[in-house]
Amino acid sequence: MKFIKKSWDFLGSRKLSVFIFVMAIVYYLLLYAFSLVVPDWWLANLSKLLPYKVLYLLFVINLVICEIKWIPAVLRRCKKPAPPASPEDLKRFRDKSELAEDSVNAKAFASYLKKRLYTVSEGKRHGELSPGAENPFLLYAYGGRFSPLGNVMFHIAFILILTGIYVSLQYRFEGKVYLVEGQKFTGTYGEYAQLHAAPGADFMKTPFLVKDIKTDFWGSHLLFTDLRADITSGEKTFPVWLSKAGSIDGYRITIEELNYTASYILSDKNGRLADQGAVNLANFGPGSFDSFQIPGFPYKISLSIYPDAVLSEGMLVNRSMNLNNPASQVKVVKNKRLLYSGVVKGGQPLFFDDYKLSFPKISYNGAFSIVRDPGLRWIIASFFMMITGLVWRMIFCRNEVALVQGEGKVFIYTRSDYYPVTFKGKCSKVAMTKGRAS
């Protein structure tokens, strides 16, 4: 029994909280050091190793026990504070000012405080607060006695965060697919270019079609001002953006990246079709090359796309980044020997060896992110809990004020959790102003 109590006290101690924080800093510094040299997936795995899990577990235990131990104390603090009955009780007030006796009107000050939802105990001079004894208290008021609940809310928010993290680790689904305008996603495993599915995650099975991809740039700069794709699922068509998701069956879909897809037609010297198809390129930005090889042919074909190209004095000029008038700078290499290098526009053929190659259509392809994370709602809930705790603590701030008479003077005692100077100044001013007014 003694051991259990000791363990309980240790696991719920503030010293352990500080120790956990220090250990967390050490762990995260390590994580940061690794982040400079290892890829993201390695880092994600590192953060799930046993020492990290032990730390999180310890954190949860510490947090929960602290809350359990703390809540009764907080509730006790939320009880009505006892009015000061003796000079000894005045020690709990932090600030004290002296006011001229004839300038103070306790009654008017009391009604001012009542209007501001303070609980006010008024006493006649030498009067009522302690019946039977000579009492110098004129007035006592308090507000915001439930203020400590804000702290509890703030700490409970962390329990919600941890719950959210746990739910994410168990049920999160994240996939990335590359789709060209007009292409349909059918929901099969092989379509995903990247996939991270937690043990309890469900795959997205609902098919959708990428109707078109629209983009807008800031002049000729490589800076998006808009990137959007229209998606059709069932009979519904809706847009998805880079930073604003569309949703299908609870899965959020965004378009993350933009690139070009080139359709090609390869024919031999007699005009017979040798091959045709489309290739997704990673060559976004004029001057950036990506290459591909047509299966069964020894040619390495490199392309750079100029989306809005014109020829000006023999020079290729790109007017904007919008895909208005695409031209391709093409290099064809066979066994390190350059067979062709030049610029072709849509459908215009180029010739090398005994072949004719053309790119009839350049279109956009997008990387679509498909994510479902049930942990998010916990994170959002925790966020609002945190904000509520903050607002609660700040707005319903715990304030106390007492007016005490003695030696021909009136003293104003104030105490405020957050705004001691302002509260003291305001109270003194109002107590005197009301007095003068009366």
Residues that bind another protein (CB under 8 A): 14-15, 17-18, 21-22, 24-25, 28-29, 31-32, 35-36, 40, 43-44, 47, 154, 165, 168, 174, 218, 223-227, 241-245, 252, 254, 369, 371, 373, 375-376, 379-380, 382-383, 386-387, 390, 393, 418, 420-422
Q: Say how far residue 228 (Cα) sits from the centre of its chain.
A: 22
Find the shortest distance in angstroms from Cβ 380 to another protein: 6
Q: Which is nearer to another protein, 82 or 223 (CB)?
A: 223
Tokens of 117: 């939802």
Residue 116 in 3-state DSSP? coil
Q: Which is nearer to another protein, 137 or 378 (CB)?
A: 378
Find the shortest distance in angstroms from Cβ 221 to another protein: 8
Q: Which is nearer to another protein, 352 or 419 (CB)?
A: 419
Closest by Cα among 431, 406, 391 to 103:
431
Evaluate whether 328 touches 307 at the Cβ level (below 8 Å). Answer: no
Find the shortest distance in angstroms from Cβ 403 to another protein: 23
Q: Which is nearer to another protein, 24 or 209 (CB)?
A: 24
Q: Which is nearer to another protein, 274 or 397 (CB)?
A: 397
Find the shortest distance in angstroms from Cβ 401 to another protein: 18
Find the shortest distance in angstroms from Cβ 215 to another protein: 10
Q: List alpha helices for 83-148, DSSP H.
A: 106-115
Tokens of 122: 């008024």
Find the shortest distance in angstroms from Cβ 393 to another protein: 8
Q: How far apart are CA 191 and CA 20, in angstroms?
A: 43
Q: Which is nearer to another protein, 357 or 385 (CB)?
A: 385
Find the shortest distance in angstroms from Cβ 84 to another protein: 21
Q: How far apart are CA 282 and CA 284, in angstroms?
A: 6
Q: How far apart are CA 38 and CA 32, in angstroms?
A: 10
Q: Which is nearer to another protein, 32 or 351 (CB)?
A: 32
Find the shortest distance in angstroms from Cβ 23 to another protein: 10
Vertex 162 angle, CA 161 and 167, to 5°: 95
Contacts of 400 (CB under 8 A, 6+ apart): 81, 92, 93, 140, 141, 142, 143, 413, 414, 415, 416
Evaluate whether 168 touches 374 at the Cβ level (below 8 Å). Answer: yes
Q: Which is nearer to another protein, 167 or 327 (CB)?
A: 167
Longest dimension (CA), the chain: 121
In order of 208, 260, 320, 360, the CA distances from 307 in angstroms are 27, 10, 7, 14
Q: How far apart are CA 260 and CA 123, in angstroms?
A: 82
Q: Which pairs with CB-CB distance under 8 Å and at least 24 residues apart come from 72-77?
A: 74/148, 74/149, 74/151, 74/152, 77/145, 77/148
Find the shortest distance in angstroms from Cβ 154 to another protein: 7
Evaluate whether 369 touches 176 at the Cβ level (below 8 Å). Answer: yes
Find the shortest distance in angstroms from Cβ 407 to another protein: 25
Q: Which is nearer to another protein, 203 or 418 (CB)?
A: 418
Q: How far apart are CA 9 and CA 64, in angstroms?
A: 12
Task: Report the phi/psi class of residue 372: left, alpha or beta, with left for phi > 0 and alpha for psi in -120 to 50.
Answer: beta
Q: Which is nearer to another protein, 78 or 397 (CB)?
A: 397
